[in-house]
């Protein structure tokens, strides 16, 4: 599960996301939904390998980012230093937010799990849909800094977002200024469980997955 930067480029408007599911349509109604958002240069099948380690109560949908890049896909363009346009992030979020709202009537809750660039998407979606997301699991990623008209951060200050944030302090990919701005954002907007995993780098460890499973069980499923 890698998430390496690449040059910024233009991108077309994204359509409704392509999804792969952990179960058949007839098994989904009434279940909690867990949506997986992969990292830069990856694809919708990557994070599906986590499903056996996650609570079986969830219907799991893994989404494909809309923009081809390298051998996979990106949610929004990144420069070599991981800089990006907040406007491009908002453009990427809009069709996924619409898709989530369409799914909401069928499921008891919606939770988002994002890896690296996928964490930026997951938190941006929760900021766009305040009160509609049960929790966010962010792994080795960041929160988009700053403000945008589509991001309702004032709502999250009133009702903080339940969140799990796992990362290696020595992650070689995510710049320190994004780590710092993410931590600062969480102080006012999230009820967060932060856990460091030494030696993981820019990845996901078995111990981290166990903690994610426990978090989802207790915070989302009420177990």
* pLDDT, the chain, mean: 93
Q: Is the pLDDT of residue 214 over 60?
A: yes
Task: Report domain extents, the chain.
Answer: 25-220
Helix (H) or strand (E) holding 128: helix 117-128
CA proximity to 162, closest of 139, 138, 144? 138
**HSE of 67 in the Cβ direction (CA atoms, 13 Å)?**
23
Contact in structure between 126 and 136 (CB atoms under 8 Å): yes
pLDDT at 16: 82
pLDDT at 18: 97
pLDDT at 223: 72
Q: What confidence tens digit (pLDDT) does each residue in 73-91 have?
A: 999 999 888 889 999 999 9
Q: Is the pLDDT of residue 206 over 60?
A: yes
Contact in structure between 83 and 5 (CB atoms under 8 Å): no
- Residue 28: exposed, middle, or buried by beta-carbon count in 10 A (0-12, 13-18, 19+)? middle
Total residue count of the chain as it appears in this document: 223
Q: Is the pLDDT of residue 10 over 60?
A: no
DSSP-derived secondary structure for 42-109: B-TTTGGGGGGGS-TTSEEEEEEPSEEETTEEESS---TTS---HHHHHHHHHHHHHHHHHHHTTSS-
pLDDT at 118: 98
Give the integer Cα–Cα distance in Å for 28 and 102.
Answer: 14
Mean pLDDT, range 57-64, rounded to an integer:
98
Give the integer Cα–Cα distance in Å for 126 and 159.
Answer: 12
Q: Is the pLDDT of residue 3 over 70?
A: no
Mean pLDDT, range 164-188, rounded to an integer:
97
Q: What is the rounded (10 degree) CA torsion for 163, 164, 167, 169?
A: 70
* Number of Cβ within a 10 Å radius of residue 154: 11
Give the distance from CA 171 to its chain's centroid: 17
Q: Is the pLDDT of residue 1 over 60?
A: no
pLDDT at 80: 82
Contact in structure between 167 and 144 (CB atoms under 8 Å): no
Domain spanning 25-220 has what CATH number?
3.40.50.1820
Give the integer Cα–Cα distance in Å for 144 and 123.
Answer: 8
């Amino acid at each position: 599960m890698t998430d390496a930067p690449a040059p910024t480029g233009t991108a077309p408007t994204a359509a409704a996301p392509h999804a792969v599911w952990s179960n058949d349509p007839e098994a989904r109604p009434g279940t909690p939904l867990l949506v997986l958002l992969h990292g830069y240069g990856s694809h919708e099948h990557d994070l599906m390998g986590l499903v056996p380690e996650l609570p079986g109560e969830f219907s799991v949908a893994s989404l494909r980012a809309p923009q081809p890049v390298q051998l996979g896909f990106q949610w929004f363009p990144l420069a070599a230093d991981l800089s990006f346009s907040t406007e491009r992030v908002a453009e990427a979020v809009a069709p996924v937010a619409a898709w989530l709202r369409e799914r909401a009537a069928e499921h008891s809750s919606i939770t988002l799990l994002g890896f690296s660039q996928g964490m930026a998407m997951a938190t941006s979606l929760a900021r766009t849909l305040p009160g509609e997301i049960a929790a966010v699991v962010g792994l080795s990623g960041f929160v988009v800094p700053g403000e945008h008209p589509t991001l309702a951060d004032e709502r999250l200050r009133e009702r903080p977002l339940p969140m799990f944030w796992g990362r290696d302090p020595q992650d070689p990919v995510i710049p320190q200024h994004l780590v710092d701005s993410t931590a600062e954002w969480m102080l006012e907007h999230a009820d967060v469980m932060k856990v460091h995993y030494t030696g993981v780098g820019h990845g996901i460890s078995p111990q981290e997955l166990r903690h994610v499973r426990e978090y989802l069980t207790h915070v989302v499923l009420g177990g």
